[in-house]
Amino acid sequence: MILHICSEADWAGVADNEHYRTRSLHEVGFIHCSDLGTVHLPATRLYRGRTDLLVLRVDPQLLDVPLRWEPGVPPEPQNPWFPHVYGPIPKAAVSSVHPFPPLPDGSFRPPPELTGLN
């Protein structure tokens, strides 16, 4: 399982037969993703306190573009690697969508319903 953070509005704009694209795909050539153990890191650093976020659960086997695990930029403490999707994500590869509300201090934790899933 890989995870991608997006806004509710960005996800709502993807029709059933379309592919999901991000600005980063056009700017750096890939879509930033995380796993369950790292999704809170970019969420807290980039989106602290935002209340309009979702976590997309993506099935890597349903991608039709390369997926590569690479160091984060900028590096996070303990230097975890992150999954990067080198192309648009087919909507059919998104197996579930989860609200991603911040904690009272504005930081994030993985959605509890994803804990224990592979």
- The string of DSSP letters for 76-101 reads PTT--EEEEESSPEEGGGEEEEEE-P
| Rg of the chain taking only CA atoms, in angstroms | 13
The CATH code belonging to domain 2-104 is 3.20.170.20
Domain chopping of the chain, boundaries: 2-104
DSSP 18: S
Question: Can you give the pTM of this predicted structure?
Answer: 0.92
**Would you state the structure tokens that stand for residue 94, as one six-digit string?**
């998104």
Query: Mean pLDDT highest for which of 2-6, 72-76, 114-118?
Result: 2-6
- pLDDT at residue 118 tops 60: no
The pLDDT assigned to 73 comes to 72
For 63-108, how does the pLDDT look when each residue is reduced to its tens digit (9 = 90+)? Answer: 999 999 999 876 677 789 999 999 999 999 999 999 999 999 999 9
Specify the higher pLDDT residue, 95 or 114: 95
